[in-house]
Amino acid sequence: MTDQALRGKPEKRTTTGSKASRHGEWVVHLVLAGAAVIMVAPFVWQLLTIFKSNREASQTPPTFLPENPTTGAFTTFFGSVPFWAQLTVSVSALVLRVIGQLAVSALAGFAFARLRFPGRRLLFGLFIAMLMVPSQLFLIGQFEIIRDFGMLDSIPALAIPGMFSAFGIFLMRQAFMSIPAGFEEAARLDGAGPLRTFWYVMLPMARPTMAALAVLTSLYSWNDLLWPLIVTPRGNNRPVTVGLAGLQGQFGTDYPTLMAGALVASLPLIVIFLVLQRQFFSGIASSGLKG
């Protein structure tokens, strides 16, 4: 998606009467607002529940606003879950994975887009073929490799497989292909080799794509449940997702505490999203290239 597309575009209606179209726009807003309410309702209910007592949260008929607002749910949550440790694990794994993926994808993407070497097409085809295979097919083998290297229950174990993404390589290749060759030639005339051209000329120009790839990777890394569940069999270095899934077994029907945990665990990424909306949207739009 282009920047222009993200910012919106000028009004396209010209012939229909301005009064009628403004009238129509109210109806459209009404429908959209209704849909937005449905979309947001679960979050509102979650927020309201957090400040209720467990008894109030599970009574019928339910109360809408908390009768005696309490922050006890947060106290219970932070008192019984090593949340800060889990957060450290999630953030470390995320940073490691994002840096790793950007480095691997940018290097390979540049080579595939801008250098010629025997087997280039074949190798690229091999990478792209991996895009179509469901990730579960790799799980057993990845688990065994991590185990055989003695890396189970470690933070690198959480991050390493996600660093190597055919999608990331494809995305970076597309970005480098779209940079006009003139820049590269200018750098070459100045005596820059492939590495310098890559670092000083190409990489800065591919920055928007790298930002989009970084936020997408962050999203996947933060949300991942199945892989962390598998590689932390002893329970050390469990990220927020696994901790949260375990919370349910621990607190069963203590809904205010569960809702508080769900909020606290989701908040970091929601905040990042609100700050970096553009990158999220362009990342998603470019993931459309996948098909």
Is residue 166 involved in binding other proteins (CB under 8 A)? yes
Question: Rounded CA gap, 268 and 249, in Å?
Answer: 24
- Count the Cβ atoms, other than its own, within 10 Å of residue 81: 22
Question: Rounded CA gap, 287 and 284, in Å?
Answer: 5
Site for other proteins in 131-160 (CB under 8 A): 132-145, 160
Is residue 277 involved in binding other proteins (CB under 8 A)? yes
Q: Which of 71, 75, 178, 250 binds other proteins (CB under 8 A)?
A: 178
Is residue 108 involved in binding other proteins (CB under 8 A)? yes
CB of 74 to other proteins, least distance (A): 15
Q: Which of 53, 58, 70, 88 binds other proteins (CB under 8 A)?
A: 58
Cα distances (angstroms) measured from residue 12 to each of 15, 22, 91, 93, 171 = 9, 13, 44, 46, 32
Question: Rounded CA gap, 132 and 136, in Å?
Answer: 12
Q: Which of 195, 207, 236, 275 binds other proteins (CB under 8 A)?
A: 195
Is residue 91 involved in binding other proteins (CB under 8 A)? no
Q: Binding segment for other proteins among 73-81, 91-99, 206-214, 271-279 (CB under 8 A)? A: 271-279
Is residue 288 involved in binding other proteins (CB under 8 A)? yes
The binding track of 11-30 with respect to other proteins, each residue x by CB under 8 A or -, is: xxxxxx-------xx--xx-
Give, for 199, the enclosing helix (H) or strand (E): none
Q: Binding segment for other proteins among 56-64, 71-79, 81-89, 150-158 (CB under 8 A)? A: 56-64
Q: Binding segment for other proteins among 80-88, 151-159, 203-211, 247-255 (CB under 8 A)? A: 247-255
- Per DSSP, the three-state class of 278 is helix
Report the residue number, 49 or 237, with the smaller CB distance to other proteins.
49
Is residue 127 involved in binding other proteins (CB under 8 A)? yes
Site for other proteins in 248-267 (CB under 8 A): 248-249, 252, 255, 258-259, 261-263, 265-266
Q: How many residues at the interface with other proteins, by CB under 8 A? A: 122
Is residue 1 involved in binding other proteins (CB under 8 A)? yes
Question: Rounded CA gap, 216 and 287, in Å?
Answer: 9
End-to-end CA distance of the chain: 15
CB of 222 to other proteins, least distance (A): 7
- Count the Cβ atoms, other than its own, within 10 Å of residue 253: 10
Contacts 24+ apart (CB under 8 A), 57-64: 57/255, 57/256, 58/253, 58/255
Q: Is 73 left (phi over 0), alpha (psi -120 to 50) or beta?
A: alpha
